[in-house]
Amino acid sequence: MASVTGFSIPMTSFAGSLKQNQVPMRISSLNSASLCLPSLRMRPARFQISCAAKPETVDKVCEIVRKQLALTADTAVTGDSKFTALGADSLDTVEIVMGLEEAFGISVEEENAQSIATVHDAAEMIDKIIEAKV
């Protein structure tokens, strides 16, 4: 079970928002203040991470990455796979992007290509480019 017992906030955003004697306060510098609050009980949160890319796009990108990097069939390639973790260097990444351009009939701008680190990144970018074409 998580608990929160205190936090610091900048004085500029804090000034005038707290009435005198409302909460114990300790000024630790001219730019921040520490508040000591009663312990708060928090429920564990469930987080879901989803990819905006279509599953079929992710699958096709996985196939292309596997082919471009000459990975064996037992090497796991998923949406979360990072190109570097699969052994790709910068030249391999360029070749992957070229393979994606050819397979999907798209053109990837250099600045977009540099931001691709995972299969999900590539799949999301591809779907955005394809949507923009329509």
pLDDT tens per residue, range 36-95: 445 545 555 554 444 578 999 999 999 999 999 999 989 999 999 999 999 999 999 999
**What per-residue confidence (pLDDT) applies to 52?**
77
pLDDT in tens, 17-30: 444 445 444 444 34
- What's the rounded Cα separation, in Å, for the pair 122 and 101? 11
The pTM (predicted TM-score) of the whole model is: 0.61
Helices (H), the chain: 11-14, 55-68, 90-104, 110-114, 119-133
**What per-residue confidence (pLDDT) applies to 47?**
47
94 burial via Cβ count (<10 Å: 0-12, 13-18, 19+): middle
CB 83 within 8 A of CB 64: no
pLDDT in tens, 90-114: 999 999 999 999 999 999 999 888 8
Q: Per the structure block, which two tokens stand in for 107?
A: 């053109």
Q: What dihedral do alpha carbons 106, 112, 117, 123 form, nearest 10°?
A: -40
List residues with catalytic annotation.
89
